[in-house]
Structure 1
Amino acid sequence: MPATTVPDPRMEQMSAPASLGHRVECLRWVPPEHALTWEHEVVPDANVDLLLELTPERCRAVLYGPVTRPLHVATQAGRGYLMVHFHPGAMPRLVDASPAELVNEAVELRHLGGLSLDALGERLLSAGSLGPMCEVLTPLLERTACPSGDSFDRVLHHLLSRPEPPRPGALAKTLHLSPRTLQRAFKERVGFSPGTYARIARLQHALGLLRASAGGSLSDVAYRCGYADHAHMTREFRELTGRPPSTFRLPG
């Protein structure tokens, strides 16, 4: 699934191979025998996700854009689900739409890398497991055009290298970019502003810490993620997810 509030223990995950590492963060797979009929809650996330629903009869492909508010993705028992989780700003040209047009949206695909979806589905199910499935997808994704390195990549690297993202104005000055250039780069490649990206990245960091351990105080999580205090983190969680951070802890 895209970035869900509760990780699915039945889901297999692997990092992208080196040839796809510049555009893909990871791949995830839920085999048909492990899938449940369920509605998964998806939290705000700057990544684009390609979700393939597999049965012996057909393959359905849906491209999910970046998310700034909670949404829900349904799955059905007896169907396999393969997900490709792209890096922020690295969405390949799978559809005739920009990231800004895909924010909080989903588009159903008709083919992938020049191959019909039904033919692709047969090959993926025959592969059987996540590693061989990745070998099937890799040449198809490698043939799909992807954004080349530019000022956005410099900005993103700078953001990811800091414990707390700086304010957009300070970031533009540090990178010797005009505020207009900075805003345009994010709008074109991610779909929203660097300020929104920073809020979502910090939320994802906090969610990771909340999921990692049931122990530790919320104040400590807030401090480690760069929030001013526990109250600030709670406000951000409520605005972005509709719920306080305490509800995202996994049972301990």
Structure 2
Amino acid sequence: MVNPTRGVLYPARLPQFHRLPPTDAARELVVWFWVPEWDVEPGRSSRQEVVGYPALNLVVEPDAVTLSGATTRSSHRDLRGTSWAVGAMLRPAAVAALVDDPSSLVDGERVLDEPELRAAVVAAMSSGEGHRERAVDAFSAWIAARVGEPGDVALQANTLVDVLLGESAATSPEEAATRLAVSVRTLQRLAHRYVGLSPAAMIRRRRLQDAAERLRVGPGADLAALAAELGYADHAHLTRDFRSVLGIAPRTYRADAAD
């Protein structure tokens, strides 16, 4: 199972946070649902920093529904007051029904007019014990009805992401194309249409997440050995990747995450 805080740069600073699976009706459409709930003292804020998965997220909050694109850099959000969010990390098969060009949403977001989804999730989150599970049930039912049965190409895009991001993931676009028995060009078209990023960018993001997680849970890890294990050319390559996305060096991140 994937670490439930993978992609979160500083898990110890999280508010109450849960990752829940979709119902069977939405299993080809949603990887998982994530549900943070927070209660921050008046006049204070809690900054949450994330190096997100190369995927789109559909997020319901009490006053809005937002579609967020895949990201190429780390991002943060300052939580204030008392509230919650219910987000669905989308599988590629769900994307085409929600946006024509996911590349237009890379590192951005769009507010959607989906009052039925918002009302259903708000009602569930206000329903007492078991509210998170009821919110996931309502969200799963809505997205299954909204998207419908995914076609063969959409399912192929799901498999593409599994090959690029899953267990024993491919280390290059060429390897991924071979596993899928398609050309590299077809792989690129699928990634552009259903994710908005290139296969190479998706591999780089997965590798950086792996590096951040390993540094966080193994503070004594040798950086040169870690770089070689994860497919970086050398220690300097790992450091450049960290700096370009996170703005800090791996050693600095490791020290900060241990605080």
**Bin of the TM-score, shorter chain as denominator length:** 0.7 to 0.9
3-state SS in 2 of match to 1:68: coil
153, 160, 163: which is aligned to 1:158?
A: 163
| Deviation per residue, 1:177-211 (Å, 9 max, x gap) | 33322221111111021111111111122222223
What displacement does 1:76 show?
Answer: 2.0
Name the amino acid aligned to 1:142: A
| Deviation per residue, 1:21-60 (Å, 9 max, x gap) | 3222222222343697334333253021222223xxxx32
| Corresponding position: 1:106 with 2:109 | yes
Question: TM-score, normalised to structure 2's length?
Answer: 0.79
| Deviation per residue, 1:64-96 (Å, 9 max, x gap) | 110012333332221122222223x34445644
Output aligned runs, 1:169-248, within 5 Å.
Answer: 169-173=174-178, 175-248=180-253
User: Identity of counterpart residues, as a percentage?
Assistant: 25
Partner residue of 2:151? 148
- Give the distance between the partners of 1:110 and 1:140, measured in 2 at CA: 14
3-state SS in 1 of match to 2:16: coil
Change in CA separation of 1:140 and 1:170 when aligned onto 2, cut-off 3 Å: closer
**Structure with more helix by fraction:** 2
Question: TM-score, normalised to structure 1's length?
Answer: 0.81
- Give the distance between the partners of 1:189 and 1:248, measured in 2 at CA: 32
Partner residue of 2:18? 12
| Deviation per residue, 1:112-141 (Å, 9 max, x gap) | 6xx163454133322553222212222112
Partner residue of 2:35? 29
- Give the distance between the partners of 2:34 and 2:174, measured in 1 at CA: 37
| Deviation per residue, 1:140-175 (Å, 9 max, x gap) | 121121653434344334334674634334543554
3-state SS in 2 of match to 1:72: strand
Q: Gapped runs of 5+ residues in structure 1?
A: none
Q: Gapped runs of 5+ residues in structure 2?
A: none
Partner residue of 1:133? 135
Judge which range, 140-149 or 183-192, deviates more: 140-149
Question: May I ask how many residue pairs the two structures share in their alignment?
Answer: 245
What displacement does 1:62 show?
Answer: 1.6
Change in CA separation of 1:153 and 1:139 when aligned onto 2, cut-off 3 Å: closer
Task: Give me the CA root mean square deviation.
Answer: 3.0
Partner residue of 1:124? 125
Change in CA separation of 1:72 and 1:160 when aligned onto 2, cut-off 3 Å: closer
Name the amino acid aligned to 1:38: S
Partner residue of 1:64? 68
8 Å CA contact 1:66–1:191 kept in 2: the answer is yes
- Give the distance between the partners of 1:65 and 1:224, measured in 2 at CA: 29
